[in-house]
Chains A and B, each alone.
Chain A
């Protein structure tokens, strides 16, 4: 076990930080700019193909939580009658919208020219974008898709519906942007998106190595590329750098720990506590690394993007991923990956904001315990609303769990 308090992060984090900063600069300057939902959203590639700059309020909510601003934003939203039982990402954003906006992070999220909505995650998606639509009175493009409970048995007409939704959206986007999205432009964006996805898979595979090359905080940092920069050459360049460095670390046997120091390989279920990323540092101090998380593994990048079939690829993107399937489907995936990533313990965040990723977690954990005989811990919390997080309670429980792990 290590005595070091802070471990050196992989160098790629700096490149990602620069990409995030440049993204937020683009939001300020590029027009038209559209708010886009993050769950696998085919409108991101379409926006880039049309020269529209997407911006991501969910990401901004996470950024605000990291900077401990979510309390303020949530309270502002609540003062405007958005109840505390609404997901805190939404409250963060609505609070930001109504805020006086003095010194917001990254210079702010900007006022959108249009709204890019998909319904592939939760009920909040539709209601949230609809609320923004009422506030800003700007055009909204809406791709509605069915939920796919059993991806292996998805009926053909689900795909056909999604394809027609994409086709209709493209016409609307062309109208708003005043430009034609040619087959070439779309195909190029989808090809670039596909390259990011391919690198992402290779990157995740590297996490199977012992010692684990990078930690969950590094991977979730890189996730930004997979969500926000798909369809751009820049995205491919950044993710390639991330992959190359990580690959080199594996080749050189470099990890967060040395092989001997790496005491436990844990899986994190659900979104992290964004306001307390230091928690992962605490785990590192205790010799624990997180090579696997459903959050980085099953939500984005699950669709193979084929530039020769751009519309079909985008339609599949809208239908796939953890947020649009069932917990049973995730459990099956987890049972396979837990073995492949040599996981020896599970920490699940029962996130009261994100029911999609949380409801049924006790069931999932029970199944995993039964099948693989793994110790597990379920923590109650929220991904951005710090006010419902009890540090003392969480730390006690983690401490007890780590002692039990040995």
Chain B
């Protein structure tokens, strides 16, 4: 593995330590965010560090259950458990979106027991009309004011344009890495790609982009990997546990495309602020993020179909967290369409925080063997 990939993997593994150290050394205040629908550029432009929240693979949920019942997605419950156990002591606040229902409850609980000075909720429209974009831009204006109140500093138009530039560059580089997986013999594995993407949730964007430039240069010299015989697409909500991706690869498949919140949905497309003000431009890009909670089934199918065709996918794995109601709701119809339109085999597995991989492995193995027998 390259030094850069190793470094990125360590950043995820030791996220708490890395962030505590950064907070101490730079004094830069940190704001936790959830899901790819919070326009981070705003937070960045305020001179704060947006950090994406996902549960660190750590101990069991012990204290969070007092506030969030077990029928809520464990991804959210684990984050909350880690918050109240003081594991994110470097945070100064959070901006939580109206994304899935579970996250909306996370906000309410967080606010009631707020451990940090700043907390905000952002209404993300579940529609893509001009009316929705106009509303979202105004909602961003409110968040901007709130952030200005928190820092005591105005967020200038220039700093917003700059933040957009910084993020566009980072996402552009991430998309380049993701593209590499499309090759017949990809030079980067899916677990590596996942870690590249997820390390961008933690590191400073400029620093991360610098690493990415080096990584891309390094990868261009890498010799081709083995031919990806079984090419899979993984779709689901928050599939943040790298063990799952490792397990799939270990079973002999290559995840050549993904449709998950912590993958392609996060790097999807750039913000175009050349034609309109930065808030509207941000709103226009972020309403399009193709998560399940804000996207109609037909639009999700279009998004997946493009990947299936471009990446020459042989099979699809639905990896859905227990109690992730939006993804579970989309599954039957998407599954049917994928099998009908592309004649592709699919597999549904249910994941959970600290899920036991062994039973999942048996099913994934069988699925991959079946695809192998079909000749990929």
B-contacting residues of A (Cβ < 8 Å)? 80-83, 85-87, 90, 119, 122-124, 126-128, 130-131, 133-134, 142, 144, 146-147, 149, 155, 157-158, 160-161, 164-165, 168, 326-328, 350, 352, 355-356, 358-363
Contact = CB atoms under 8 A, between A and B. Distances in A.
B348 to A, nearest CB: 8
B242 interface: no
Contact of B138 (A130, A157, A350): A157
B131 A87 contact: no
Q: Top 10 closest A-B pairs, CB basis?
A: A146-B123, A127-B329, A81-B332, A161-B135, A144-B127, A352-B71, A359-B105, A157-B138, A83-B328, A123-B101
A85 B67 contact: no
B329 A82 contact: yes
Contacts of B329: 82, 86, 90, 124, 127-128, 130-131
A147 B328 contact: no
Listed residue (A123, A157, A164) with the most chain B CB atoms within 10 angstroms of its CB: A123
Nearest to B324: A85
Contacts of A358: 69, 71
Given A85-B323, A123-B293, A350 B69 contact: yes
A355 B101 contact: yes
Contacts, number: 124
Given A134-B298, A147-B121, A149-B121, 5 more contacts: A86-B325, A123-B325, A127-B292, A134-B297, A328-B112
Contacts of B123: 146-147, 158
Interface string B296-307: 111000000000
Listed residue (A127, A130, A158) with the most chain B CB atoms within 10 angstroms of its CB: A127
A36 to B, nearest CB: 18
B125 A127 contact: no
A83 B331 contact: yes
A130 B328 contact: no
B121 A134 contact: no
Given A146-B98, A165-B131, A355-B105, A127 B326 contact: yes
Contacts of A127: 292-293, 325-326, 329-330
B333 to A, nearest CB: 5
B270 interface: no
Nearest to B298: A134
A164 B108 CA distance: 28
A142 B298 CA distance: 15
Contacts of A327: 108, 112
B155 interface: no
B13 interface: no
B72 interface: yes
Contact of A146 (B68, B102, B135): B135
Contacts of B292: 127
For the residues of B in contact with A, the DSSP-based class is helix
Contacts of A147: 98, 104, 121, 123
A81 to B, nearest CB: 4
Interface residues of B, number: 48
Given A85-B325, A122-B101, A147-B123, A363 B112 contact: yes
A127 B333 CA distance: 11
B317 to A, nearest CB: 15
A363 B113 CA distance: 10
30 contacts: A81-B332, A81-B348, A83-B331, A85-B325, A86-B328, A123-B325, A127-B292, A127-B326, A127-B330, A144-B126, A144-B132, A146-B135, A149-B111, A149-B121, A155-B142, A326-B108, A327-B108, A328-B108, A328-B111, A355-B71, A355-B105, A359-B72, A359-B105, A360-B68, A360-B108, A360-B109, A362-B66, A362-B67, A362-B69, A363-B112
Interface in B278-329: 292-293, 296-298, 322-326, 328-329
Contacts of A352: 69, 71
A115 to B, nearest CB: 12
Contact of A144 (B108, B125, B293, B298): B125
B328 A359 contact: no
B83 interface: no
A141 to B, nearest CB: 12
A315 B324 CA distance: 30
B335 A81 contact: yes
A327 B173 CA distance: 42
A360 B67 contact: yes
A177 B163 CA distance: 48
Listed residue (A83, A128, A157, A362) with the most chain B CB atoms within 10 angstroms of its CB: A83
A159 to B, nearest CB: 11
Nearest to B125: A144
A326 B104 CA distance: 9
A130 B66 CA distance: 34
B100 interface: yes
Listed residue (B68, B98, B112, B329) with the most chain A CB atoms within 10 angstroms of its CB: B329
A77 B72 CA distance: 21
B236 to A, nearest CB: 13
Interface in B65-113: 66-69, 71-72, 98, 100-102, 104-105, 107-109, 111-112
B72 A355 contact: yes
B249 interface: no
A360 B66 CA distance: 9
Contacts of B100: 123
Listed residue (A87, A155, A327, A355) with the most chain B CB atoms within 10 angstroms of its CB: A355
Given A127-B330, A131-B329, A85 B126 contact: no
A80 B324 CA distance: 17
Contacts of B121: 147, 149
Contacts of B125: 144, 146
Contacts of B72: 355, 359
Contact of A85 (B129, B139, B322): B322
B228 to A, nearest CB: 29
Contact of A142 (B127, B328, B332): B127
B131 to A, nearest CB: 5
Contact of B139 (A90, A146, A362): A146
Contacts of B108: 149, 326-328, 359-360
Nearest to A122: B101
A271 to B, nearest CB: 15
A61 to B, nearest CB: 16
Nearest to B102: A355
B287 to A, nearest CB: 10
